[in-house]
Amino acid sequence: MPHLILVRHGQSEWNLENRFTGWVDVDLTSKGKLEAYKSGEYIKDLKFNIDYFFSSFQLRAINTLKLIQDTLGNKDEPIKAWQLNERHYGALTGLNKDEMRKKLGEDEIHKFRRSWDIKPAPLNRSNPYHPLNIEIYKKIPVEKIPDTESLKDTYERVIEFYNSDIKNKLLENKNILISAHGNSIRALCKFLFKLDNNKITLLEIPTGNPLIINLNSKQEILECKYLDKDRAKDLIIF
């Protein structure tokens, strides 16, 4: 029975500042680093080996995974995939969420954040926060780099990567850990839990709390739970 562990990165600098982050590359806060270490301790207590480690291209996910691997005493080279990046928030990128709520209204911001197929206005390509102007994305084909995304857009790239690079490893009974982001993990959960377009908008993903999913040979979920029960969120599966 393979185990899939999903970890949203620990608190980032822009999580703390309550800003729309998306594809901007910000690091962890001291609290975020502690959350990553704790994630590693919870995973270590499971007492089984992880065969493959995945992260997005983004520093907060990469460093969360590094701290987890340090805690596990694991030196394996992780697989980094831009397809596991956070959702691109378009013109909202870098803006304070509370200020935008005052400006646009709670309903409008909620629509942009949690609706299935509505995306914010595109981010100008000359903006320093645009992925085209961030060094880590220089190796990604330009046509693959978004100006903005809906949750649906994020879902499509995440699940395409899951089906091509992760699914077969699980079918081979390998244990996998993915360090990613709120919306890329939300996309994976929609796919694995078979959530409809309305339910997925209700799913909350806490930072630095490993979600372990046990699957059978048909990729059906046998069991899933957050390892830190005190900070668990409703999985709204059953």
Q: Which residues are catalytic?
A: 9, 86
Three-state secondary structure string covering the chain: CCEEEEEECCCEHHHHCCECCCCCCCCECHHHHHHHHHHHHHHHCCCCCCCEEEECCCHHHHHHHHHHHHHHCCCCCCEECHHHCCCCCHHHCCCEHHHHHHHHCHHHHHHHHHCCCCCCCCCCCCCCCCHHHCHHHCCCCHHHCCCCCCHHHHHHHHHHHHHHHHHHHHHCCCCEEEEECHHHHHHHHHHHHCCCCCHHHHCCCCCCCCEEEEECCCCCEEEEEECCHHHCCCCCCC
